[in-house]
Amino acid sequence: MTIAPSARRKISGKKHAELLPARELRGIIETVLRLAKSTVASETEVHIDEVADSLTRFANNGIHQNVFEHCATVSVRTVTGGRTARATTNRLDEDSLRRTIEASLSLAHSEPRDPRLLPMPGKQRYRTVDRFVKATAALTPEERARAVRLACDWASKKGQVAAGIFSSGQSQTTVGNSRGLFATYCETHSQFSITMQEDPAASWAKADSADVREIHPQELAERAGKKARLAVKTSELAPGRYTVILEPAAVLDLVGFMFYDFAATAVEDKRSCLNNRIGKQLFGKNISISDDVFHPRQKGAPFDGEGMPRQKVLLVDRGVPKNLVYSRASATIARKKPTGHGFALPNEYGEAPMNLVVSGGDSSVETMVASTDRGLLVTRLWYIREVDPYEKVMTGMTRDGLFLVENGKLTRAVRNFRFNQSLLDMLNHVELMSPAVRATGEESFEMVVPAMKIGKFHFSEVTKF
């Protein structure tokens, strides 16, 4: 990666990286647009993505790696003769930008004409969102190490072994085009993930936030450690249908598989579980889902890959799928207004809601446990795969803490199960929900979801661990 000299000067002598200022981002875009004017490109679009990430990795109760990356990329899309293509570089000097324009045009000439290709959008207005937290951007390796040390010390005192990561960083994305559009957004991010092992058992906890002050590594270690201790001795239950209490990470990694079903392109291509189901009662009446980039627990830019403003969209209203999200292209086909959910062109996917919010309830996980005569508490799920796309049947396994609930109390750990479960059926049997939180898992990107108590969840077989 070659960073512009001005950016390199900012990095030197600092304990943390500083992102390129808006005036330099605009300058890069103006340079590309100026250079493109002397070519056969009728329209030009420029994306700049910059990320400065740090990560502390630990295992066996000690830190063994610290890494840092600061890079920027410039992606140029050109249009010529009804054809479009994109080329990307990580060099910001003028000669490299010129070669990237030429590469984009060369690729475009080899593409077929696209009769549905729309002119690039002009200037837009955007709602302001502020997710840049100075405390996160300024976090040093020493501060991450001290937090990790607290978690590892707790593990050592309990006779357990801790492993995981603590990452922090900042990023920004900027879009501009030859029709006057310019949009820029920056945010910070932090994440702590820990696995606590007490032979032969292990458990896990994870948190993600723009504000590192909302992440409490020692509390996460204690939560995972207590579950690992409970899971040292496990017993085996028969497969079947159980009442389950899914913690937010488990809900996320299941519901997250539905995000693309709400894309207009997926429905048009008949690849969505919502085909022939829009406007019909599909889920329980206690289920409402929206896509809302402005929710206080979300992250992400308030504009899409073409620079169109993102809109809040009510996808499911009390169990009834009501709306889809649209890119400019899919909106034109459907004679709808674009909702600001398109991916950068060219792409084969169209659009998708990237900021799902599942409405929650007022119960806690503790209340759900107390209200359950017999059921299972699920920490998280993994290795999830789709079996039946239209009925949204998923298979996968429980992991890192599966506990039997009897008479309103956790009584013992049980061996993990494989499940085969329709998400449509699952969301018709939700009995209780917690308030929605920003959840992070391993199978899906972060969303805002509640914990759920669900009846008749299908476990098909016992695993070997």
> 208-227: per-residue pLDDT in tens?
999 999 999 999 999 999 99
- What token pair was written down for 440? 């992070």
Range(s) within the chain of domains with CATH label 3.30.2290.10: 5-212
Closest CA to 192 of 223, 231, 230, 161: 223
pLDDT for 464 equals 79
Q: Is residue 405 within 8 Å of 374, Cβ to Cβ?
A: yes
pLDDT for 9 equals 32
Q: Is residue 123 within 8 Å of 178, Cβ to Cβ?
A: no
pLDDT for 10 equals 36
Write b or e for each residue in 120-129: b if 16 or more Cβ atoms lie within 10 A of its Cβ, otherwise e. Answer: bbeebebeeb
Q: Is residue 225 within 8 Å of 240, Cβ to Cβ?
A: no
Closest CA to 425 of 387, 462, 369, 374: 387
H helices of 87-133, in order, are: 94-109
Cα separation, 352 vs 2, whole angstroms = 32
Q: Is residue 75 within 8 Å of 344, Cβ to Cβ?
A: yes
Tell me whether strands 417-422 and 409-414 are parallel, antiparallel or unpaired.
unpaired
> 79-94: per-residue pLDDT in tens?
999 999 999 999 999 9
Q: Is residue 197 within 8 Å of 161, Cβ to Cβ?
A: yes
pLDDT for 332 equals 97
Cα separation, 312 vs 357, whole angstroms = 10
- What token pair was written down for 419? 């499940």
The pair phi, psi for residue 275, each rounded to 5°, is -55, 130
Cα–Cα–Cα angle for 303, 354, 394, rounded to 5 degrees: 165
Closest CA to 355 of 264, 267, 442, 448: 448
Cα separation, 74 vs 30, whole angstroms = 12
What is the full DSSP assignment across 159-223?
T-EEEEEEEEEEEEEEEEETTS-EEEEEEEEEEEEEEEEETTEEEEEEEEESSGGG--HHHHHHH
pLDDT for 16 equals 62
- What token pair was written down for 177? 């085009």
- CATH code linked to domain 5-212: 3.30.2290.10
Closest CA to 428 of 325, 238, 310, 281: 281
Closest CA to 330 of 275, 422, 265: 265
Q: Is residue 324 within 8 Å of 267, Cβ to Cβ?
A: yes
Cα separation, 209 vs 339, whole angstroms = 26
pLDDT for 17 equals 78
Cα separation, 420 vs 384, whole angstroms = 10
pLDDT for 386 equals 97
CA atoms within 13 A on the CB side of 32: 33
Q: Is the dihedral of CA 436, 442, 443, 445 positive or negative?
A: positive
Tell me the pTM. Answer: 0.93
**Residue ranges of the chain whose pLDDT lies below 70:** 1-16
Q: Is residue 343 within 8 Å of 352, Cβ to Cβ?
A: yes
pLDDT for 15 equals 53
How much is the CA Rg of the chain, to the nearest whole Å? 24
pLDDT for 465 equals 74
Closest CA to 291 of 260, 247, 329, 270: 260
Cα separation, 355 vs 462, whole angstroms = 34
